[in-house]
Amino acid sequence: MTMVEIVNVEGTNRRNLFNCLKNNIDVDFVDDPSSVKASTLILPGVSHFGHYIDFLDAHGWREFLLNTDRKIIGICSGYHALCSGSEESPRHKGIGLLQGQAKLIKADLSCTNGKVPHVGIRHLPKCNSIEQGKGYFVHSYGVLADGIENESQIIKIAQSQYAVSQINKNIIGLQYHPELSGEDGKHLLLELISR
Amino acid sequence: MRLVCRIEVKNNWVVKGVQYEGVGKVLALDKGYRIPSNDKIEEVILLDLTRSVFGLPPNFMALEIVAENTNLPITFGGGIDSVEAALKAFELGASKVYLNSSVTVNETSLVNELVKIVGRQAITIGCEYRIENGQRMCYGEAGREPFQETLTDRAIAMNACGAGEIVVSHIESDGIEKGFDWECLDELPPLPIPIILASGGSQAELDKIQGYESMKCEALCFSKVFNNDYG
């Protein structure tokens, strides 16, 4: 059985994910839910929220995601897609499996890490399921930590606290890109897949 | 301070020129290629400067080879002049696209279109300039085509049209390792998007990169000094 399938969303960096994992596990791409074979699905990052949701709805992914017990890992805009929505495209509704709505990060030029997009490697704190480490970020929207009850890692970006990961049973959202975070990130991604 | 490695390519070679001229071969870009071995590098900018000059399509072969063997983000550029070319770059392993010749202050339609598909964080704009009569004037086509735009005007316009970051490159400093044109940062107004300072970075500057945290940029991009770090 293929261990991991990457949902083939146009405009995402799905190839980076494939390259990151290909030497360690059985990984493939998948276009629509009827073709899913893997126990873990990854929603890749880098895409406009509205474009992303349009793709998921056009291919029947919403209903599948709402009803599956497979492990789902959403990265960056894939994480936002799993939340309730995003200010990037307010008319599009998120899948709603994770808490919160992605909001535009307000640039604050008076502080470190205050520019938007928020880009670069940041230290990540430990939470129950994820060890501390480093993650590469590249995003303009984020999920504010206030009101998030799911297990999460929280860091400060431009003077506000953001939930840069969320775990709700089989659903995992990561704001950072483990596939672009060197060996640390690759290790984390493989660990999340294998647990 | 984010450390960025700029890898210049021409066809299937890693190359390096001086002031955007006379590229010399550094090493072959084949299946065994690995990026320079410096564990401080956070990102790669992969450019084929010859593409826009000769109207050639982007060097996707180079992108595939570099992406195959790195799990760092790649900003890919050189000849990207359409949404289709940009999307193909993402398909092959780019995390951002670098646009220069195809975008001017008065022609930003490519950025406007791409923002709607990939989001602004995936769009990097080049501000490649020469200093002429005391003014920093921007160029396209690898320093050949004057845009008749000042660095400041271009930076402001690119932020306004949806770019996620700008790479500020002094063409006359390129490849000579005499140090960055730090003064250009004083010319720029405060921008909410990250600024990457490139061209001319020396070994001494690389050695003390964390000492530049108070400078008015978020990343430093080195190229030639990394040629010593190929294994």
For residue A67, give every residue at least 6 positions away whose Cβ sits within 8 Å of its Cβ, in sequence order, or none: none
The domains of chain B are located at 2-229
- Best A15, A20, A21, A137 residue to mutate vs chain B (most B CBs within 10 Å): A15
Q: Which residue of B has its CA nearest to A138?
A: B121
What separation, in Å, do the N-terminal and C-terminal C-alpha atoms of chain B show? 25
- Which candidate in A76, A80, A83, A92 is catalytic? A76
User: What is the residue type of A184?
Assistant: D
- The SS3 of residue B227 is helix
DSSP A110: T
Q: List the one residue out of A44, A46, A152, A161 whose CA is nearest residue A99.
A: A152
**What was the pLDDT predicted at A152?**
96
Residue with tokens 């989001």, as numbered in its chain? B119
| Cβ distance of A182 and B71 shorter than 8 Å | yes
Mean pLDDT, chain A, whole residue set: 95
Pairing state between β B2-10 and A171-174: unpaired
Tokens encoding A2: 């293929």
pLDDT tens digit sequence for A129-188: 888 899 999 999 999 999 999 999 999 999 899 999 999 999 999 999 999 999 999 999
**CATH architecture of the domain with residue range A4-194:** 3-Layer(aba) Sandwich (3.40)
Q: List the one residue out of A43, A77, A83, A73 whose CA is nearest residue A188.
A: A73
Task: Report cis status (omega within 30 of 0) of the bond before B58.
Answer: no
Name the pLDDT band for B228 (thresholds 50, 70, 90): confident
Name the pLDDT band for A47 (thresholds 50, 70, 90): confident
Tokens encoding B149: 């735009």
Tokens encoding B125: 């704009």
pLDDT tens digit sequence for B52-82: 888 899 999 999 999 998 989 999 999 999 9
Residue with tokens 């945290």, as numbered in its chain? B213
pLDDT tens digit sequence for B75-88: 999 999 999 999 99
User: How many alpha carbons fall within 13 Å on the CB side of residue B27?
Assistant: 15
Q: How many CB pairs under 8 A join A and B?
A: 108
Q: Which residue of A has its CA nearest to B74?
A: A180
What separation, in Å, do the N-terminal and C-terminal C-alpha atoms of chain A show? 16
CA-to-CA distance for A63 and A119, rounded, in angstroms?
33
The percentage of residues in chain B with a pLDDT greater than 70, rounded to a whole number, is 100
The domain defined by B2-229 carries CATH number 3.20.20.70: yes
Q: Does A182 touch chain B (CB under 8 A)?
A: yes
Name the pLDDT band for B213 (thresholds 50, 70, 90): confident
Name the pLDDT band for A2 (thresholds 50, 70, 90): low
CA-to-CA distance for A48 and A111, rounded, in angstroms?
27
pLDDT above 80: residue A1: no
pLDDT tens digit sequence for B110-161: 999 999 999 899 999 999 999 999 999 999 999 999 999 999 999 999 999 9
pLDDT tens digit sequence for B152-195: 999 999 999 999 999 999 999 999 999 999 999 999 999 999 99
The C-alpha angle with vertex A175 and arms to A172 and A179, in degrees rounded to 5, equals 85
* Cα separations in angstroms, A70 against A36, A64, A98, A187: 10, 10, 15, 21
User: What is the residue type of B165?
Assistant: E
CA-to-CA distance for B49 and B78, rounded, in angstroms?
5
- B/e letters for A68-106, b = 16+ CB within 10 Å, e = fewer, are beebbbbbbbbbbbbbbbbebbeebebbebbbbbbbebe
Pairing state between β B74-77 and B96-99: parallel
pLDDT above 70: residue B214: yes
